[in-house]
Amino acid sequence: MGLSADTVTACIALGANQGDRLAQLRMSYEALNQHPAIKITAASPVYASEAHTGEENDTAPDYLNAVVKARTALPPEKLLRVCQQIEQAAGRDREAAADRRWAPRPLDLDILTYARQQIDTQALTVPHPRLGERRFVLQPWSDIAPNLYVPLPFDTTVQELLQQCSDAAALRRTPHALDSTSSAPT
């Protein structure tokens, strides 16, 4: 793939807790990597985690989660649109679940960081505002980019955020990889 020299590094969290979760993650990995303005440079192992819910007694199917690091020539808003198109292709209906933040979903792609930029628009906030509260994001991210700087309001590295994270939800590394032709070590 011939990306122009005018690219930045973006990190994207992938999660799924409906349908064939692993197939959804792998499809999103392939869709991102096949986009002409995106090249994945690192992909974490896949982790299984309990779903975060809005209420203490709520239950939801467990998630599979991973993080990818990519070079992209897309501006942040266009990268967001690509992510949302991939989610939609997987069956996610953002409008139907707009009022249900904790609703199960076939695929969830979140832009964690975009270069060292801080973005705060109606459509996009980067760094992702809740990334520091999510071990299921920080652990796989730390596997591929522990020393990556996360801009304000965090102003620290991924590894330091993981060490400070108070999320106690169960998290288990699986033997699966996003690239369906290989498996992560167990």
Could you tell me if 170 and 181 are in contact, meaning their C-beta atoms sit under 8 angstroms apart?
A: no
Give the single-character DSSP code of 131: G
DSSP string, 144-182: H-TT-EETTTT-EEHHHHHHH----S-EEEEEEESSTT-
How far is residue 58's CA from residue 162's CA, in Å, rounded to a whole number? Answer: 26
Q: Which residues have CB under 8 Å from 163's CB, separation 6+?
A: none
- Which residues are identified as catalytic? 92, 105, 108, 110
Q: How far apart are CA 49 and CA 67, in angstroms?
A: 14
Whether 72 contacts 79, CB under 8 Å: yes
* Token code pair at residue 65: 């989660």
C-beta neighbour count of 21 within 10 angstroms: 21
Taking a C-beta distance cutoff of 8 angstroms, is the pair 134, 67 a contact?
no
